[in-house]
Amino acid sequence: MENDLDDVGPRARDIAFRGGGYHQHVIKAGQWKRAVQGYLASIAFADAMFGRLLDGLDESGQRENTVVVLWSDHGWQLGEKQHWRKFALWDNVVRSVLMIHVPKDAAGLSDGSADGQLCHRPVSLQDIYPTLVDVCGLPAKNEIDGHSLTPLLKTPDADWDHVALTTYDFGEFSVRSERYRYTRYIDGSEELYDHHSDAQEWHNLAGDPKFSQIKNELAAKIPASPAPLVKTSEKLQPHHIPPFRSRAEYDDWLQHGKDNQYLLKKYWQ
């Protein structure tokens, strides 16, 4: 929808247009359909290559002795909310592929996984490690976040009291339950979407008093004291958009005209 950004905050709009306003360039060049076609073609190619990998596993004779996990690191947007690529907290971006096959007689799941079934419970990529440890019968590491997915591998519609938590810049989190996605940005703006009636996230319900209780319940899942963002050995380059490590950095960026080069030089070099 052309007005899909009308009910989101200024920070979300900045995210949509960051990197030079990809959507406007795609529209001007008349390449939207071809861009979607190219993305779908890349998925089809990846599917074919994964099929070759599974064929190799079958031919190796190790199929019944191998746990298979297929996942992607993120989703993608193709013009929704006038946004392309990743680098955001909307569902199309943070929702990813996750498929798991556990063979029979695994130490932690003797009957193997219930293959070929969809599971609609919200899970996280952080759940992969605890799951592998569990199905392989290895000692758990309680200091690692995430939950074993073994109950869902056994019964995909089993009760599940967890949410999926995603973070982007400092202080920006999105919480996904089976029905709702709640997002809070560094500027305090919020979004709430009901995926039972609005799977494309067109209508932000965060300002509707009828959803205050749901919003507050999901907001309570956000860490009160998130771990600090630390520098890594990888140097940020001039074309990079640096992350914010505090609300103060974000406010400083706003006061300097949203100048990414200023942010890079002051905080990252």
What pLDDT score was predicted for residue 228?
Answer: 81
Residue 3 lies in a domain: no
- According to the model, what pLDDT value does residue 249 have? 93
pTM here?
0.93
What is the rounded distance in angstroms from the CA atom of residue 41 to the CA atom of residue 24? 23
Q: Could you tell me the residue range of the domain that residue 265 belongs to?
A: 234-269
Residue 21: pLDDT band (50, 70, 90) is confident
245 located within any domain: yes
Residue 193 resides in a domain: no
| Structure confidence by residue, pLDDT tens digits, 126-163 | 999 999 999 999 999 888 889 999 999 999 999 999 99
What the block records as the tokens of 205 is 């319900």
The SS3 assignment for 203 reads coil
Alpha carbons 76 and 126: distance in angstroms, whole number: 19
Assigned token pair, 215: 């919003």
Domain annotation covers residue 260: yes
Read off the pLDDT of residues 181-203 as tens digits, 9 standing for 90 and up. 999 999 999 999 999 999 999 99
How do residues 235-256 score in pLDDT, each as one tens digit? 878 778 888 988 999 999 999 9
In a domain? residue 172: no
- Per-residue tokens: 66: 């191998």
Can you tell me the distance from the alpha carbon of 111 to that of 106, in angstroms, rounded to the nearest whole number? 8
Cβ atoms < 10 Å from Cβ of 250? 21
Task: Say which amino acid occupies 197.
Answer: S
Question: Does 136 fall in a domain?
Answer: no
Other C-beta atoms lying within 10 Å of the C-beta of residue 78? 16
Residue 164 located in a structural domain: no
pLDDT digits (tens, 9 = 90+) for 96-120: 999 999 999 999 999 999 999 999 9
pLDDT of residue 268: 84
Contacts of 95 (CB under 8 A, 6+ apart): 75, 176
Residue 257 lies in a domain: yes
**Order of strands across the sheet that contains 173-176:** 164-167, 173-176, 180-184, 190-194
Q: What percent of the chain has pLDDT over 90?
A: 81
Reduced to 3 states (helix: H, G, I; strand: E, B; else coil), residue 77 is strand
Q: How far apart are the first and last CA of the chain?
A: 40
- Domains held by the chain: number: 1
